[in-house]
Structure 1
């Protein structure tokens, strides 16, 4: 039985290939759990109250002097505020380089998987999945800018090439995101674009929602002076 440090108020199983969106309210904590191993969750984040403010991965990497995102790091908006803090991560690495596959790329990589033959098992793609969710909030293609791939690792080698690391996430691995502001989370559970598996086989994840105290993100806040400023900028919204 899974135990949680904070009160759990909702859970949802997201099947492989599925997509979802929701507002993670200020003070809430989301745990994403890889149920079978080999999962990938592509997500983007926006300010729920002002959706022109959105995830900025280059700033998130640059101001924290890292090429990977894991526990202790923050996910910054383009306004220098913290959309979410990664308070726990049993994988130790989440990819910010790989992006998403579109419908044409999925067909080229996995072949034809139409709804007419496969019904709900048809081959989905990350771009369309996230656009479906963004559309529910009055957003569109111009709002789909940057995505983070949870549970996946991509290494940069000395020859300047990027390499996907198979088997990085195992069954039971999880990532926790704390929201210091009302954050719109848009995500899909699909294979990473660089995953070498030639078969379309996205894995399910569990979404667990908790009420948490700000102290859960204290290690993120104190890890760098930049993060202290990011939290200060965020808290001014609610002053």
Structure 2
């Protein structure tokens, strides 16, 4: 599959917007996104990283699968036209618009040891809200709000981040990839629990801890009992996606 080119975001009429919130720099958020809902992610200031994990709301044992997502679509990055697969071969969410053209699905998330080694050690007792929060602990904290824990943490997507691949399989951070106002739209094809962290990417070479905020804008993409049409850009992007949508439709038949 060849991912589609970048595009300018479609303006959202106020009547279409359901809610809007900001995930402050270096913090975290989670919530349930119903089938037919779309979420616009906006890099508010430029240079953001948004680590994300996804689970089926009714049965969290079904969750985002990075390996199936990449091999089914023959790609090593995510952009407009790509979908996010669950480990049951169903489509959890579709990327319907993207102004960047590259989001990282392989770089993982930084943990406490990595962040302490890179940025130094801080505590809430001493720094309060200025403490350094790593991405892994942030995601685990959000999952705990929904009855999940560290053992449920899966490979994540890093929106707004780009890594380059060396011939030897090495990964290299690409600085300056995302600009202020960059956005990507996720359309949810099943009821999905999503957890997000705005902590820096684990490969970010910046020696200073400088996370950025991300704005979330929720809007209605289609009625939850509807079916994405056959000519939808994400559904028809490749035969594997068509089969993935069929599997998802049967879940809601």
Q: Give yes or no for TM over 0.5.
A: yes
Structure 2 partner of 1:46: 55
Matching of residues 1-239 of structure 1 within 5 Å? 3-4=11-12, 7-213=16-222, 214=228, 218-239=232-253
* Offset at residue 145 of structure 1 (A): 1.5
State TM-score, norm by structure 1: 0.96
- The CA distance in 2 between the partners of 1:46 and 1:179, in whole Å, is 11
Q: How far off its partner does 1:115 sit?
A: 1.6
Runs of 4+ in 1 over 3 A off after TM superposition: none
Distance, in Å, in 2 between the alignment partners of 1:9 and 1:96 is: 28
- Separation (CA, whole Å) in 1 of partners of 2:50 and 2:169: 25
CA distance in 2, matches of 1:111, 1:34: 26
Structure 1 gap ranges (5+): none
Query: RMSD over aligned Cα, in angstroms?
Result: 1.6
Q: Which has the higher helix share?
A: 1
1:199-224 deviations in whole A, cap 9, x for unaligned? 11110010000001246x91000100
Q: Name structure 2 gaps, 5 residues minimum.
A: 1-9, 223-227
Q: In structure 2, what is the Cα distance between the partners aligned to 1:135 and 1:126?
A: 14
Residue 73 of structure 2 aligns to a residue whose secondary structure is coil
Q: How many residues align?
A: 238
